[in-house]
Amino acid sequence: MSRPAAKKHAGAAAAHVVPATAEAILEAGALLRAGGLVAFPTETVYGLGGDATDDTAVAAIFAAKDRPSFNPLIVHLPSLAAAETVAMFDARARRVAARHWPGPLTLVLPRAADCEVSLLAGAGLDTIAVRVPGHPVAHALLNAAGRPVAAPSANRSGRVSPTRAEHVAGELGDAVAMILDGGPCPVGIESTVLDLSEGAPRLLRPGAVTAEALEAEIGPLDAGDGSAGVTAPGQLERHYAPQAPLRLGCAEPQPGEALLAFGGVVPRGFAAVLNLSATGDLVEAAASLFAHLRALDAAGATGIATMPVPDDGLGRAINDRLRRAAARG
C-alpha cells in the first residue's frame, strides 16, 4: 500500500528514508510538485531537491541548509533538450554536454530569455548552473517531477557532503519530507563546474570530469582569480568541513588526532586511521572521501590530519575539497 502524499512543505513534515523503488520515486515527484523537499542520490553526492520554478520551495532549500542566498544552486534536468529551455547553449556547451551528460558536469550558462527557474535559485545572477545527472534514481525522479529541480548537496551549508542516505537523515532530519535511498554515491565528490557564460571557458570547481578532459575538447581553461565573486556552487573558501579541525599534508600526529590516510605507507601514532585508498587509486579515494571524513569526525578526535594526495586528474578535485574543508572560518 502506498503512503499518502504529503500535503505540506518539507519543513513541516518528518523526514522518512525509503528505498528508491518506482513507487517511492513517483511519490517523491508528487512531493516536489507540491512544493516539498526531497533528498535523492546522484552519482556525485545526495542532493536536496526542490521545484526550481517555485520561489517558496527554493527558499526552503536555503533555509534547510542554512545556506547564504548569494550562493547559487545547481538546477537538475533530465536531458539536454530540457536544459536548453532554461539556459542558452553555444557550440562549446553542446559539445561538452554531448560528451559528458548524463554525468558529473555542471555548466554555467546565460539564462534563457524565458527561463522559468526562480531568480533566487541563481542568486539573482544572469547566469544559471545546469546539470543532467547520470544516476538512474535521479533521472527517474526528474522525469516524475516534470519540472527543473534545484538540488544542492543535502547537508548543512559548509559541512561534509553526504554520500549515503543516513548522512542526510543525520544532518537534515525533519527539514526534508522524504529521503530516497539509492545506496552509496559511486563518484563521491561534487560535479565539475565549468563556466561557459562568456569569454574563455573557466573551471570554477574541479570534479570527476577532469580539466585535462575538458581542455582536450574545448581548449585551454581559465582557472580564474576569484575576483568575480561567487558565481557557482562550491566556490566558498570554507566548505565541506567536518566539526574537528583539519590539517593538510601531515605525517606527525598531535594528541588525540585522527588520520585520513592515502597509499600503502601509513604513519603510526594516530588515535584513528581511515585510508582513502591503500593502493593509491584516486577513483576509490574520491568515492571514500566524505564518508571517511564523517566517520573520523564521529570518532571524537581532537582533529583530523591528512596525507598528501597527488594533485593531478581526480586528485585535483580531492585536494580542492580538502583545502576548503581545512580553511579557517
What is the pLDDT averaged over residues 220-224? Answer: 81
**Confidence grade of residue 304 (pLDDT, cut at 50, 70, 90):** very high
The string of pLDDT tens digits covering residues 61-112 is: 988 888 766 678 999 999 999 999 999 999 999 999 999 999 999 999 999 9
**Confidence grade of residue 3 (pLDDT, cut at 50, 70, 90):** very low
**Confidence grade of residue 127 (pLDDT, cut at 50, 70, 90):** very high
Place of cell 512531493: 31
Gap between the Cα atoms of 289 and 184, Å rounded: 12
Given this model, what pLDDT does residue 70 score?
Answer: 64
- Structure pTM? 0.84
Mean pLDDT over the full length of the chain: 89
Please report the sign of the dihedral spanned by the C-alpha atoms of residue 43, residue 47, residue 52, residue 54.
positive
Q: Please determine, looking at this structure, whether the domain spanning 10-218 carries the CATH number 3.90.870.10.
A: yes
CATH of domain 246-326: 3.40.50.11030
How open is the CA angle 320-46-179, to the nearest 5 degrees? Answer: 160
DSSP secondary structure code for residue 123 in this structure:
T
175/215: higher pLDDT: 215
316/251: higher pLDDT: 316
* Cell triple for 87: 539556459
**Confidence grade of residue 324 (pLDDT, cut at 50, 70, 90):** confident
Q: What is the dihedral of CA 144, 78, 63, 208, to 10 degrees?
A: 140
* Cell triple for 178: 522524504
Place of cell 525509503: 18
DSSP secondary structure code for residue 26 in this structure:
H
Q: What are phi and psi of 289, to 5 degrees?
A: -55, -60
Helices and strands (H, E) in the chain, number of each type: 9, 14
Q: What are the domain boundaries of the chain?
A: 10-218, 246-326
Three-class DSSP category at 272: coil
